[in-house]
A and B are shown apart, each in its own frame.
Chain A
Amino acid sequence: MRIDKHPILEFKKGKKVKFTFDGKVYEGYEGETIAAALHAAGVKVLTHSHEKKRPRGFYCAIGNCGQCVMEVNGVSNVRTCIERLKEGMVIKTQKGKGSIL
């Protein structure tokens, strides 16, 4: 679901990189946010609410609402709507509230 043609904008993409999400290999562009790369790949559910386990996606995309937190390279509660994608990142759906390193 990437925009191929835009009347005003030209998207300067970083180099293509591979990353994993829950063990599966995906491709995205370096420098875009993790949430953007996942969304482009059709992944909208980023986490689940703690009590009722309801699916959650990002809402604000500016690192403010905390609806997009995931485990990235072993670190819990990473706000994936602002964290930039890098080659080889290991991204996982976070279980519960995550652990403090």
Chain B
Amino acid sequence: MKQVEILVVGGGPAGLCAAINAAQAGAKVLVLERNEDLGGQLIKQTHMFFGSEKQHASVRGIDIASILFNKIYELGNIEIYKNATVLAIYDDGIVSAEINGRYMKIKPERIIVSTGASEKTLAFPNNDLPGIYGAGAVQTLMNVHGVKPGDNVLMVGAGNIGLIVSYQLMQAGVNVKAILDAAPEIGGYLVHASKVRRMGVPIYTGYTVKEAYGKDYLEKATIVKLNDKWEPIEGTEKDFDVDVLCISVGLSPLGELLWQAGCEMRYVGQLGGFVPVRTENLETTVEGIFVAGDVCGVEEATSAMVEGYLAGLTAADSLGYEIKDFEERKQDYLEQLQSLRSGHVGDKIRAGLDQVTIKSEAAVV
């Protein structure tokens, strides 16, 4: 059995930042990543990030990934296993994993779960046809492997992901016929929406997919306008000859391990689904299990990274490591998160977090 001080499950933006801060504090860290690549979604993000300088604003996601990889290799005390899927967290704290086809048991003193989220789908007739892909899948195919998902795309969802992926599709030389969203307004930042509109892509708000058509794979899709009760309005159908429907209707947290470990979970629609109840330090209701990133509420990669740094810091602190300026650093991360979640765009996130964050006694006083 392998003994480690801090086990990080998931090597995406949150997990890598958690590992960096925990290791900097002196802890021995093991990161298990189920994929062959580290970096999670960062390695497919060709756009520049928002936020402030501390969160690498104006740097492309792919370059942020390299910055994090370099930090990890500089620190000596982070061990990384790729192709490593965590199978279970047992009552006695033992974690089992399948690593490159081999079974392994690990005894960590603290666990930081940063497993991320997976794409939601949308219900409409024939939504299982090949050619109907999640937005993340389209990004993986074109930005990681350099393969076009198709020739003509209809994008479902005008949130930031839908808008950004539409732009990336055009960069890859793919025709985006239109973007639609069931909501009456564009959900993503207007700067992204304006960019795709300037390139001639219409954005239909208040529309949904009525049906997809095709024999072996997608050939056509019909959309329809919704009234204010979200019911389809007859006669408003529009047809599109497309071979790709890109579904960008949100993500749901991958919290299976947290459920299994007995963490208290609550359904919070604003955060994407079931998420763990946690303290300000990002510790769940099971002592020693911390969370960071989309698994504890779907947001942007920037806040996932800040949460990662915070969880790495607080987990190392809970092990008794002397961390210089601990309180100041913790406050700094909390303030960064607050600023990322401020304003109108953060309304939903803040309302969601209020339902699952246990306020510390110090904060109440």
Contacts and interface: CB of A to CB of B under 8 A. Distances in A.
Interface of A: 1-9, 11, 13, 32-33, 36, 39-40, 44-46, 49, 54-65, 67, 81-82, 84
Contact of B216 (A45, A58, A82): A45
B147 A2 contact: yes
B130 A9 contact: no
Nearest to B171: A7
The 6 A-B residue pairs whose C-beta atoms are closest, nearest first, are A57-B130, A61-B137, A11-B146, A36-B145, A44-B130, A1-B148
B43 to A, nearest CB: 11
Given A39-B141, A61-B141, A65-B118, 5 more contacts: A3-B142, A33-B145, A39-B149, A60-B118, A61-B140
A81 B137 contact: yes
A60 B134 contact: yes
Interface in B237-273: 254
A36 B149 CA distance: 9
A61 B147 contact: no
B148 A2 contact: yes
Among B131, B132, B147, max chain A CB count under 10 A is at: B147
B206 to A, nearest CB: 26
Contacts of A57: 129-133, 217
B54 to A, nearest CB: 24
B87 to A, nearest CB: 14
Contact of A64 (B62, B118, B129): B118
Contacts, number: 100
Given A45-B217, A56-B128, A11 B134 contact: no
B136 A62 contact: yes
A9 B62 CA distance: 10
A1 B150 contact: yes
B152 interface: no
19 contacts: A1-B147, A1-B150, A1-B151, A4-B173, A6-B146, A6-B172, A9-B46, A9-B143, A32-B145, A44-B131, A45-B216, A57-B130, A57-B131, A60-B119, A60-B134, A60-B136, A61-B133, A62-B35, A81-B140
Contacts of B34: 63
Contacts of B145: 11, 32-33, 36, 40
Contacts of B192: none
Nearest to B133: A59
Nearest to B214: A55
A40 B143 CA distance: 13
Nearest to B47: A8
B131 A84 contact: no
Contacts of A33: 145
A59 B142 contact: no
Given A2-B148, A39-B141, A64-B118, A82 B134 contact: no
A3 B137 contact: no
Contacts of B140: 36, 61-62, 81
A49 B128 CA distance: 10
B148 A64 contact: no
Contact of B171 (A6, A56, A62): A6
Interface string B48-77: 000000000000101000000000000000
Given A3-B173, A6-B172, A40 B147 contact: yes
B172 to A, nearest CB: 5
A53 B133 CA distance: 19
B253 to A, nearest CB: 12
A36 B133 contact: no
Contacts of B143: 9
Contacts of B134: 59-61
